[in-house]
Amino acid sequence: MEYEPVIGLEVHAQLLTEAKIFCGCSTKFGGAPNTHTCPICLGMPGVLPVLNKKVVEFMLKMALATNCRINPECSFARKNYFYPDLPKGYQISQYAQPPAEHGWIEVEQNGEKKRIGITRIHMEEDAGKLMHDEYNPVSHVDLNRTGVPLIEIVSEPDIRGAEEAAAYLKRLHEILVYLEICDGNMEEGSFRCDANVSLRPKGSDAFGTRTELKNMNSFRNVQRALEYEIKRQQYVLEGGGAVVQETRLWDDTAGTTHSMRGKEEAHDYRYFPDPDLVPVVIDEQWLATLRKDQPELPLEKRERFVRAYQIPAYDAGVLTASRALADYYEEVVRLCGQPKIAANWVMGDVLRFLNEEKKEIRDCPITPASLAAMIRLIEEGTISGKMAKEVSEAMYRTGKAPEEIVKEKGLVQITDEGALSETIAGIIAKNPDQVAQYRAGKEKVFGFFVGQAMKATQGKANPKLINDLLKKMLAEG
């Protein structure tokens, strides 16, 4: 039988607010253990939570970007369970009344577009971190992360393969980063994903028994874990067995998943409305302001680049990988008026230099104005394309303007027809054999003359001018 995987993803994204969700502590990653804490996030007796409004705003940005329906009122609930990284013994989350539901995003795979449904988006607080002593049977808890705001984005079970899952995640990630509400750092846990996966006979509408996968900390691992799990379930089903409903952990090193807890050990979280918090009211005016300020999203930007700049879809994809890169590119285009050439330079040299040093576009020493000026120098014939390579490298190393570099290196292209004519006349005079061959119809020899001319001018001559003069002067002889 042919099986079809049915996948739903739950993404937790840490929000880039300055302060935690229910207290004023810093959300910064990497402080000394338990330094970004106060009685509230430590869950001391008697403390109370007060919602950080910025968290609601960030959640709403994501809800708008993913076409969700936004409920006029939402409320917080307590998710009760015991764990040492959870100081109150419950996590403040949202349950019965989520703020955003029924959304979707579009993913593209092999040129085909598909909508993946978003069931809901809600806000919650992050837990702390346990650190287990390697040598002693002791564990330590760091509560810096406790109370860092998260949004959970739950997809519909619309995903039909591991690759599609990765494509969906990349899209979500890109939107979050574009909105500047999440740094998207998967290694530091700013963007985390759990997956629910089941198989069913192809063409069936029913759902099979699902397993939940945890502990996948990169796009690649999500894809690998899902590929493995789909194969595993297929093997079980084909062998006449039944998939067990359970939570499984991905083992990166082994490349396998293994059971963490079964259905019987699943927690009863005893959700109930948090009596310490009041419902959040989201009015139309607030949404209107947010809609107005919403940035252009990656997919829209990509389509506009293809349309407005007449560049290939591939180029548009590369250039819109981040908002900063897209802004950089657009500034270069605005200043030089050459979209395709600008795209080549940005995607070519600029990204190569940055990648070599693992730098971001915002750290690029070549300003859009410098790059545009360099492109203009090429267009005007002041420097050749080949010279430009040298110029751009120098611009990156020194941060200097192209005109300055051209001057320093004496790179100005020889465009003086009289001087060049003299040089060419000399070459023709010195090489009578080759001249004879050319005139006898052996046009390949033309290349020899070009090479000689370049050599004589140390590569500074305008290639087009050399071509024109050579043709004219060889014909005249």
Q: Which residues bind other proteins (CB under 8 A)?
A: 39, 42-51, 78, 80, 82, 84, 87-90, 141, 268, 270-272, 275-278
Q: Which is nearer to other proteins, 137 or 441 (CB)?
A: 137
For residues 91 and 122, is the Cβ–Cβ distance under 8 A?
A: no
Write down the least CB distance from residue 14 to other proteins, Å: 23
To other proteins, the closest distance from the beta carbon of 40 in angstroms equals 9
Report the residue number, 45 or 111, with the smaller CB distance to other proteins. Answer: 45
Give the span between the Cα atoms of 452 and 244, in whole angstroms.
77
Report how far residue 342's alpha carbon sits from residue 329's, in angstroms, rounded to the nearest whole number.
7
User: Least Å distance between CB 47 and other proteins?
Assistant: 7
Nearer to other proteins, 126 or 330 (CB): 126
Alpha-carbon gap, residue 217 to 153, rounded angstroms: 16
Specify which residues 7 forms β-bridges with.
159, 197
Nearer to other proteins, 50 or 244 (CB): 50
Encoded tokens for 163: 């690759």
Q: Which residues neighbour 158 within 8 Å (Cβ) at sequence distance 6 or greater?
A: 8, 114, 115, 116, 117
Measured distance CA(72)–CA(153) in Å, rounded: 19
> 1 or 266, CB closer to other proteins?
266
Q: Least Å distance between CB 328 and other proteins?
A: 43
Q: How far is the CB of 271 from other proteins (least distance, A)?
A: 8
Count how many residues are written for the chain: 477
Q: Amino acid identity of 62?
A: M
- Count of CB atoms within 10 A of residue 311's CB? 21
Q: Which of 476, 455, 475, 454 is nearest to 465 (CA)?
A: 454
Kindly report the number of other CB atoms within 10 A of residue 10's CB atom: 16
Task: Name the minimum Å distance from CB 201 to other proteins.
Answer: 31
Q: What is the nearest approach in angstroms of other proteins to the Cβ of residue 107?
A: 35
Considering the complex, state which of residue 92 and residue 150 has its C-beta at the smaller distance from other proteins: 92
Residue placing its CB nearer to other proteins in the complex, 112 or 268 = 268
Q: Are strands 3-14 and 191-201 parallel, antiparallel or unpaired?
A: antiparallel
**Residue with smaller CB distance to other proteins, 79 or 323:** 79
Q: How far is the CB of 275 from other proteins (least distance, A)?
A: 4
Closest among 204, 194, 197, 263 to 236, alpha carbons compared: 197
Nearest alpha-carbon partner for 320 in 357, 295, 293, 285: 295
